[in-house]
């Protein structure tokens, strides 16, 4: 509580200049945004692999016929699920491109313009 009563509490209160973030700060910000999307996908990849390996180890104790049946069913179901996910990703991409074209938005250096 020492000091003058007229002492400024915050030196930058009257500054109107906005400092440009450094390259390191830009990279850190972009990396955090990227990992918000990439972390769940990475977790799903690793956890799916772990479940597959552990399941194969337990089913392998039943016998070769049970292991073959499990692998056949699991492969078909896994491929079906991945196919659905790729289809949804393709549909989302088409939706986003259509939205960008309608709004004449510049995205990744490409300008979406009306062609008709």
State how far the Cα of 74 lies from the Cα of 81, in Å rounded to an integer. Answer: 10
Token pair 């400092």: residue: 19
* Within a domain: 106: no
Domain of 59? 23-91
Q: For residue 57, tell me if it sits in a domain.
A: yes
Q: Does some domain include residue 87?
A: yes
Domains identified in the chain, total number = 1
Cβ-contact 104, 111 below 8 angstroms: yes
Query: Could you list the pLDDT tens digit for every one of the 116 residues in the chain?
Result: 566 666 666 665 555 667 888 889 888 988 888 888 889 888 988 998 898 888 888 888 888 888 888 888 888 888 888 888 888 888 888 887 787 777 766 665 555 554 44
* Residue 53 included in any domain: yes
| Residue at 63 is within a domain | yes
Residue 8 lies in a domain: no
């Amino acid at each position: 509580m020492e000091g003058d009563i007229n002492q400024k509490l915050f030196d930058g209160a009257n500054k109107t200049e906005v400092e440009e973030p450094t390259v390191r700060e830009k990279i850190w910000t972009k990396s955090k945004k990227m990992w918000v999307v990439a972390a769940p996908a990475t977790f799903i990849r690793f956890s799916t692999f772990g479940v597959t390996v552990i399941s194969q180890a337990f089913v392998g104790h039943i016998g070769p016929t049970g292991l073959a049946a499990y692998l056949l069913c699991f492969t078909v179901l896994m491929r079906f699920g991945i196919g659905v996910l790729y289809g949804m990703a393709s549909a989302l991409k088409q939706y986003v491109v259509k939205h960008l074209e309608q709004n004449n938005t510049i995205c990744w250096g490409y300008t979406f313009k009306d062609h008709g």
